Amino acid sequence: MPFVKIGKTSDVQNRKGRLFIVNGNRVAVFNVNGEFFAIDSRCPHHGIDLAGGYLNGKIVTCPGHGWEFDLETGENVILPVSVRKYNIKSEGDNLLLEI
Ligand code: FES
Any atom of ligand 1 within 6 Å of the Cβ of 52: no
Q: What is the pLDDT of residue 68?
A: 98
Whether the CB of 45 sits within 6 Å of ligand 1 = yes
Q: Which fold has domain 3-98?
A: Rieske Iron-sulfur Protein (2.102.10)
Q: Tell me how far the alpha carbon of residue 37 lies from the centroid of ligand 1, in angstroms.
A: 20
Q: Where are the domains of the chain?
A: 3-98
Give residue 72's identity as a one-letter amino acid code.
E
Cα angle 55-61-65, degrees, rounded to a multiple of 5:
150
Residue 1: predicted pLDDT: 84
What beta strand segments (E) does 33-75 contain? 35-40, 54-56, 59-61, 68-70
What pTM does this model have? Answer: 0.96
Q: Which residues of the chain have pLDDT under 50?
A: none
pLDDT at 17: 98
